[in-house]
Chain A
Amino acid sequence: MAIVEARNIRKYFGEVRAVDGVNLATREGEFLVLLGPSGCGKTTLLRMIAGLEKPSAGEIVIGAQVVNSLPPRARKIAMVFQSYALYPHMRVFNNIAFPLKAQGVPKKARKEKVEWAAAMFGIERLLDRKPRELSGGERQRVALARALVREPDVFLLDEPLSNLDAKLRTAARYELQQFQKRIGTTTIYVTHDQVEAMGLGDRIAVMNEGKLRQMGMPQEVYDEPADTFVASFLGSPPMNMVERNNDIVGFRPEHLLPTEVHGTSEHLVTFQFHLSRVEHLGAGRLLYGLLGAPFADQKVIANLASNVMIVFQPGMSYTFAVKTANLKFFDRATGLRIEPRPL
């Protein structure tokens, strides 16, 4: 186990600033998710931690040791790739045994270790197969077993679930989390999928354009976004953002509800809502429409749970409200969060 730290880390590819001064540190045994859109630098950051990419500036620290000059094999890390990167010419057994062989573990101990790792992921019966004879889910387990077998200080996972189909992904997500809690190894997990990030992470680090935008527990990042990027990246549908003077006011679609649904004792801000379209999603409804004065013609979405029984007609106007506490304010110029102010 170890703490991983990035100190003012930068990576430039020519003119492109892939990672532009990131500072972050994991906690002991933490499951940290790096979340961001593609091209935000999260994979590059992970590859620098692994030692596959040399930082242009800054330090990578693993377990209180600066590892910038160490090759990947000396960093006591294990990595799972998006493509799994199994060695196609080796049987599953040899795939899992490869890191041990490289460490010079004797044959008998190697066999025991491989069987232990295989049992961990329930893939004992696949040991004699070649990677091409495995399904996507099985390949992913083999990749995890190969990463686990040398008992690394840190796990680095690069979108390991994105090649699985949706149904399998949910199950794999749960298994992955259970597994990480069981072995308690510090894990850094890269994804662009906010559902994965919310579901898996002890903490989430949101990145955009090479910079770390916010780091915190999932609910914290969701409820108290540090800027408009984090606010709009997390949540589906994204947070409504309406402009008002020099501020931007944000509120989540699930917080924009018909006035009668809110309790009476709460501080509410009411809006005129001109409904233009209703989407029925089974578990609920999405209402698309425009706000009335003073937010004339700004588009917003309301997300109603299925227990709201009111009938809505497109083309009609309704009165909707948001709790004052659920309004987030951002500076229009910088996009940064500012103190709440009266509306």
Chain B
Amino acid sequence: MTVLRSTVLGARLIRLRDDEHWLGRLMLAPAIAYIALLIGFPFFLALYYSVSDITVGGRTMSYVGLRNFLAIVQNPTFIMALKNTLTFAFVSQILVLILANVLAQALMKDFRGKWVVRFLILLPWVAPISLGSIGWLWMFDSIYSVINWTLQAVGILDHNTRIMWLGKPALAMASVITVHVWRLLPLATVILIAGLSSVPQDIHDAAAVDGAGFWRHHFQITIPLVAPIMTVAVLFGFVFAFTDMIVIYVLTRGGPYNSTQVLASLAFFTGIDGGDLAEGAAISLFLFPLLVAAAFAFLHLARRVEVT
């Protein structure tokens, strides 16, 4: 009897194993469960929270419509955070793009110790962000800053002047942008290197024979050809700049005077530290439609300019 049952079961298992339709679904299931539980569920929860009046520790929760959204757009801190987010994202992306282009071009050339340089450039990407940021925190420290120390040593600063890198609004913004650029540069560079190496050498040779100088070659041939893959790098960069707060949390906590407060950090401080979950959710979701639209636009663009 048991023997019979096990063979029936065995036959079923074999049937399942050979059935690509069901086997495929089975193997996809963990990934789908992961996304649904850890991304989908919190996302819909946030959507729901943003139209409610929930607070941390509160026992009741009721639907309030768009009241949270109306409240935040009238809040000067929010407007400031929104502006900061845009500054932070755009300035860092432009810098990343320029620097990644320069780096990728340089790394395409053959030179001694190339792999060491490639490895060093990738390092910020594999190091934990919070650790890296803490390192920068130390470098920006007003008393122990190695930057100040170096500037004093070479005589650019006199001995009593100390630059408060994270203490002055404009300097603080410049500092967080610097760290963010440092952090995103490896990814953008690697993506661009991949793009550059996919352009056939013949095209470069043809441009050289056709008489293109460095700038014409770069801007009319190379850049347009890597544009689709560069778009991917930019898209990643924007998403990180809009949604990530580790650098800002570690370095400035949004200060001084909210001058480096971005939407992600403001949402965290309002919702978790401040306890107003509903408003925090509304802040974090504020840019969601915009980001979705931007992502679609970018991907559409990338497909359109795709080259064969």
Judged by a CB distance under 8 angstroms, whether A265 is at the interface is no
Additional pairs, 14, CB under 8 Å, beyond known A73-B213, A99-B211: A50-B205, A50-B209, A72-B205, A78-B209, A79-B205, A79-B209, A82-B202, A85-B203, A85-B205, A88-B203, A101-B216, A102-B211, A132-B308, A150-B211
Residues of A within 8 A of B (CB-CB), count? 27
Q: Which 8 A-B pairs have the closest CB atoms?
A: A102-B211, A73-B211, A85-B206, A85-B202, A88-B307, A132-B308, A99-B210, A89-B224
Q: Which residue of A lies closest to B208 (CB)?
A: A72
**Could you say which residues of chain A place their CB within 8 Å of the CB of B216?**
101-102
A304 to B216, CA, bound (A): 59
Complex partner residue of B206 from A47, A81, A132, CB under 8 angstroms: A81
Give the nearest-CB partner of B199 in chain A. A88
Interface residues of A in 38-84 (CB under 8 A from B): 47, 50-52, 71-73, 77-79, 81-83
Contact B202 A89 (CB under 8 A): no
Q: Is chain A's interface secondary structure helix, strand, loop, or mixed overall?
A: mixed
Q: Judging by beta carbons under 8 Å apart, are B208 and A71 in contact?
A: yes
A121 located at the interface, meaning its Cβ lies under 8 Å from any Cβ of chain B in the complex: no
Show 6 residue pairs from A and B whose CB-CB distance is below 8 angstroms, ordered by the A residue.
A73-B210, A73-B213, A88-B307, A89-B227, A98-B220, A132-B307
Kindly name the residue among A47, A85, A101 whose own CB sees the greatest number of chain B CB atoms within 10 A: A85
**A307 sits at the interface (CB 8 A):** no
| B:202-237 near A, CB below 8 Å | 202-203, 205-213, 216, 220-221, 224-225, 227
* Docked CA distance A71–B307 (Å): 28
Task: Contact check, A83 vs B200: say whether CB atoms are below 8 A apart.
Answer: yes
Contact A73 to B308, CB < 8 A, known contacts A83-B202, A85-B206: no
Residue of B205, B210, B305 near A89 (CB, 8 A) is B305
A-chain residues with CB within 8 Å of residue B305 when the two chains form the complex:
89
A-contacting residues, B269-308, CB 8 Å: 305, 307-308
| Cβ contacts under 8 Å, A101 to chain B | 216
State in angstroms the CA–CA spacing of A86 and B307 once bound together.
11
The verdict on A72 contacting B209 (CB below 8 Å), with A83-B200, A89-B224 known, is yes
Complex contacts, A146 vs chain B, CB 8 Å: 210
Name the B residues within 8 Å of A99 (CB-CB). Answer: 210-211
B212 close to A52 (CB less than 8 A): no
- How many residues on chain B are close to A (CB under 8 Å)? 21
Chain A hits for B221, CB < 8 A: 87
Cβ of B182 to closest chain A Cβ, rounded Å = 32
User: In the assembled complex, how far is the CB of residue B306 from the closest CB belonging to chain A, in whole angstroms?
Assistant: 9
Contacts of A102 in B (CB 8 A): 210-213, 216
What is the distance, in angstroms, from B271's C-beta to the closest C-beta of chain A? 45
The answer to whether B225 and A81 have CB atoms under 8 Å apart is no
Please tell me if the beta carbons of B225 and A88 are within 8 angstroms of each other in the complex: yes
Of the candidates A47, A86, A88, A103, the one whose C-beta lies within 8 Å of that of B211 is A103
Cα A98 to Cα B208 in complex, Å, equals: 11
Evaluate contact between B209 and A87: CB separation under 8 angstroms: no
Closest B residue to A133 using CB positions: B308
Contact indicator B225/A89 (Cβ below 8 Å): yes
Question: In whole Å, how far is A148's beta carbon from the nearest beta carbon of chain B?
Answer: 12
Question: Interface code A124-141, partner B: CB below 8 Å = 1, 0 otherwise?
Answer: 000000011000000000
Is A52 in contact with B205, judged by CB distance below 8 angstroms? Answer: yes
Determine if A88 and B308 form an interchain contact, defined as CB atoms under 8 angstroms apart.
Answer: yes
Is there an interface contact between A98 and B224, defined as CB atoms closer than 8 Å? no
How far is it, in angstroms, between the C-alpha of A146 and the C-alpha of B225 when the chains are bound?
A: 19
For residue B75, give the distance in angstroms from its CB to the closest CB of chain A: 46
Q: How far is the CB of A83 from chain B (nearest CB, A)?
A: 5
Residues of A within 8 A of B200 (CB): 83, 85
Q: Check B209–A73 contact: CB distance below 8 A.
A: yes
Contacts known (A89-B225, A132-B308); A81 close to B205, Cβ less than 8 A: yes
